[in-house]
Structure 1
Amino acid sequence: MDAHAWDERYAASDLVWSAEPNRFVAEHTADLPPGTAVDLAAGEGRNALHLARRGWRVTAVDFSQTGLDKGRAVAGDLPVTWVRADATGWVAPTPVDLVVVAYLQLPASQRGAAVRNAFASLAPGGTLLWVAHDSTNLAEGTGGPQDPAVLMTAADVLADLGAEARYDVVAAGRVAREVTETGHRRDSGDVTVTAWDCLVRVVRATG
């Protein structure tokens, strides 16, 4: 899906995604002291806004101007800079303490470029947090893209970093995300089902 298609999707509803941050982004940044951050492929900026409310100075990057405009409208005086750019070609002009990438679902070659750009944006000691729909979600989970070419595993993301990257792995694996769905039968009510995500958290080496 290109930027124009995402512009149309974001324009078609008040919020495409939840106003709340992704649960894994909230959990895995809670122990980090606020500093400078990038929300890469930020969409409507829910994770960027969450970080800014916690004291981070955030750059939200997305190729959809409509998505960025929606986030800017909510941000008010929060310290967020909104940048229209493609995640596969953008690197932070000044190294940052945190890069968050949530549900950027791309074919392998494009994903690899985004992973390496995200890592290149980090200062030594900075954290990269990558969350995406896991490859196993197609057969074992619910929701998410149905094209296996844009799904991935934590091992794929680590491999994308390349042999020259120096980092410490804090977390890398498959994580369960509980989703509430409305039952298809009139008498079945809401049901809780499991979606499977991959999560990678690494810290760029300081040496």
Structure 2
Amino acid sequence: MFDEASWEDRYSSRTAVWSGRPNPQLVAEAADLTPGTALDAGCGEGADAIWLAARGWRVTGADFATTALRRAAEHPGGDRVRWRHVDLTTWTPDERYDLVSAHFLHMPEQYALYARLAGAVAPGGRLLIVGHHRSDLETTVGRPNLPDLLHTAEELTRVVDDGWDIQVAEDRPRVAVDPDGNDVTIHDAVLVAVRR
């Protein structure tokens, strides 16, 4: 469920897994930023990376599913992004970025991954981590019953040390549609931290 083969199966069994729209918390946190270099870790089919690139960012999209990366590259604007096939469970970025963004990377050892991603943020740069809140398990949206892989914004703050300024640590509500077509309020755990 958390390895490359599982995600490759998921992507190759459908024509599209995600909506093709950028994640709303990325839009909320990055729309007014001055473009620079960005890493979209766990980029999937590329909507976030392509959205950033369209706003002038020089973007690297990293994922371990080759089908998702191929689809991302084929999307309009996908040629503006550098796509990298990496194993996110072990990968340490070898560059520094003005923005490192990771959305919904729920997997074992996720905090070790977040720490490696934080290490890729340049001085003055931002780390944006967004995850599913544990309270979503009490809704009908269909989250896997894996409470240890979900978290709160407060729990995400342990990713950074005192060399960072935490700008946002917030559990944000938003409306989603459950499998039966009903509107449901869910929560995103959002961390925005700036490296001093």
Equivalent position of 1:148 in the other structure: 147
The answer as to whether partners of 1:129 and 1:202 remain within 8 angstroms in 2 is yes
Q: 1:198 to 1:29 in 2, by over 3 A?
A: same
Give unpaired runs (5+ residues) of structure 1.
184-189
Which of the two has higher C-alpha Rg?
1
- TM-score of the two chains, using structure 1 as the length reference: 0.87
Identity %: 35
Give the alignment partner of residue 190 of structure 2, picking from 187, 192, 199.
199
Q: 1:88 to 1:125 in 2, by over 3 A?
A: farther
Change (3 A) 1:5 1:88: closer
Alignment length, in residue pairs? 195
Relative to structure 2, which stretch is displaced further, 97-106 or 81-90?
81-90
Match of 2:62 in 1: 61
* Map of 1:83 onto structure 2: 84
**Aligned with residue 174 of structure 1, among 159, 162, 171:** 171
Cα contact 2:118–2:159 (8 A) shared by 1 = no
CA–CA separation in structure 2 for the residues paired with 1:125 and 1:143: 38
Poorly superposed stretches of 4+, deviation over 4 Å: none
Distance in 1, Cα, partners of 2:76 & 2:18:
16
Distance 2:135 2:178 in 1: 19
Q: Could you list the per-position Cα deviations for residues 50-109 of structure 1 after superposition, in whole angstroms to 9, with x for gaps in the alignment?
A: 1111111110011111111110111556421111112233233221100110010123xx
Aligned partner of residue 8 in structure 1, secondary structure: helix
More off after superposition, 171-180 vs 16-25:
171-180
Unaligned runs of 5+ in 2: none
Q: Which residue of 2 aligns with 1:34?
A: 35
- State the match for 2:17 in structure 1: 16
SS of 1:136's equivalent?
helix
Decide whether the 8 Å contact of 1:43 with 1:62 is kept in 2: yes
1:98-132 deviation line (CA, Å, top 9, x unaligned): 0110010123xx11111111110010010111111
Amino acid at match of 1:128: L
Distance 2:167 2:140 in 1: 25
Hey, what's the Cα distance between the residues in 1 that align with 2:126 and 2:63? Answer: 20
Equivalent residues of 2:140, 2:178 under 8 A apart? no
Alignment of 1:38-187 (within 5 A): 38-76=39-77, 78-107=79-108, 110-139=109-138, 142-161=141-160, 163=161, 165-181=162-178, 183=180
Partners in 1 of 2:152 and 2:83 — Cα distance? 29
